[in-house]
Chain A
Amino acid sequence: MSKNAEQKPVKPNNSKVIKKLVFMVFAMFGFGFALVPLYDVFCDITGLNGKTNDVAVVYSDNGIDTSRTIKVQFITRMAKGIPWQFEPIINEISVHPGEMKFVNFFAKNEANHDITGQAVPSVSPGLAAGYFQKIECFCFERQPLRSGEEVEMGLQFYVDIDLPVDIHTLTLSYTLYDITEKKDS
């Protein structure tokens, strides 16, 4: 029934296995770190991102496509609990792809204490997000406003000339968050 295996005295050599396993642990940890730049590269190449830029871009002059007119709409929303007034001065503007534009937003801190706000942008449709280039935006920085202070904040942008032809309307939305507690970090 059962075989009688030959009993050879074998000293178990685990050090090779252990070395391999320890190497794997470090390798996976390093892989985890490497994923950050890897994802960036992946998103760049595939264009899968869905988010508009949060650091300034430099205007690249590829010409202006006057044959197309894109409607860019602006909406704002105050997140829960931030007593600011925050509105676009104009809520819609027509642009040609490649053309640089400048619009303003009005903000006022209506509370009785100082508040630092952070505007978070979101572009719809998602596919257009990568083509909406902000050269200068108040959303790149925190906005500290003293109690009662009001300010006009600027947005300088252009719509990339490569915007897909079937997109005619673009909406940029800013949600305003209160980050007063976080501003020291």
Chain B
Amino acid sequence: MNRSNQRWWMEICLVCLSLFSSSAWSDSQLNLTKGVTAVSREVYDLHMLALYICTGIGVVVFGAMFWSMIFHRKSKGAKAADFHESTKVEILWTAIPVVILIAMAVPATSTLIDMENNDNSDVTIQVTGSQWKWHYKYFDQNIEYYSVLSTPREQYENQDGSFSGNGALKGEDYLLEVDKPLVIPANKKVRFLITSDDVIHSWWVPAFAVKQDANPGFINEAWTNVDEPGVYRGQCAELCGKDHGFMPIVVEVKSSEDYDKWLDEQHALTAQAENAEKASLSSSMSKAELMQLGETVYLAHCAACHQPTGLGLPPTFPALKGSAIATQGSIEEHLTLVINGKGMMPPFGKQLSLKEIAAVTTFERNAWGNETGDLVQSSDVKAVSEE
């Protein structure tokens, strides 16, 4: 290859290298997010540093290899040299990588020390993972709720085989939306106490660079301090069973004033819900009302395991259609199961309101041809839960 060809190759390499400049990379589809916290930006910078170093080393090493493959080939008449060792060179290419590694380890260490300092937080939130949803409890606030995937089933159940994306059209936040997001204030240090009710889950929000495993029986801490209000989405990051891919995390970061307003709203809502519970004790719903509410509740909370058809996925998830529990057994036993759970089935007593439990139990006892004619009211639920 003559000199002008060699120059051409070098120019190509330089052009390719320039594509790696930071501005071209950030926030593209290809790269890690810069995120919205000081920590996430430090993490991004560390990532880019490592990437540049690796790319540089790769260019040198692969460059040498390609050069060798072109110029040291037998068909070009190259004769093999006979050197096969050099202590000096071995020392050199041991020492230089060590220096490079130290250059990476120093910023990594300081970033890690920052990340592990969970002290002096303004807000503390207890995050609990379970199969397959998140639970948030605001320390000191008496606000707690479950956060469940809210993408409608029709959007993701595409088993009729067609590849052309039939079934309902997928929404923009497909699989990354929940019914009740976590709400935190911006510019405040928010501390998360993370645990699990059953198996190991992991709470991850890429925009915050926060990922900590939720271990059952133990708590882990993490913190974040978000600069910009907005909505940030993450996912469970540890295999936790069949719906591991269906328990997303949505965090709504509000300005301090908006956060305080939200807290007040939540307190009001909690009070309202308590009143509604009390009121529902003395009222009764019609079958139509129960079936309608029941079906909504069933699809949102039960169908994941027991399936919309009520056929379940035996043997792990029993069928409800034609099952003894929903047709022959007593309403009391059925309610006890729903309220307290059993084995792998989670308890719904704390997650659903009296009305919702009454409705879903009614639904299960009458849908899919079960037709027991039983109607369950909130007062029945209360009676069972108090036994």
Contact = CB atoms under 8 A, between A and B. Distances in A.
A and B touching (Cβ–Cβ under 8 A): yes
Contacts, number: 86
B387 to A, nearest CB: 4
B193 A124 contact: yes
A91 B119 contact: no
Interface stretch (B217-225, B259-267, B304-312): B217-225
Contacts of A120: 217
Interface size range on A against B = 20 to 34
A80 B126 contact: no
A79 B198 contact: yes
A169 interface: yes
A111 B335 CA distance: 12
A167 B119 contact: yes
Contact of B341 (A81, A124, A125): A81
A78 B195 CA distance: 11
A81 B336 CA distance: 11
Interface string B334-348: 001001111111110
B120 A168 contact: yes
B189 to A, nearest CB: 11
A169 B118 contact: yes
Nearest to B118: A125
B379 interface: no
B197 interface: yes
B339 A83 contact: yes
A148 B139 contact: no
A75 interface: yes
B219 A75 contact: yes
Given A125-B118, A148-B386, A175-B216, 10 more contacts: A73-B139, A80-B344, A83-B339, A112-B336, A122-B219, A123-B219, A124-B118, A171-B219, A171-B221, A173-B219
Interface of B: 117-121, 124, 126, 128, 130, 137, 139-140, 193, 195, 197-198, 216-221, 336, 339-347, 349, 384-387
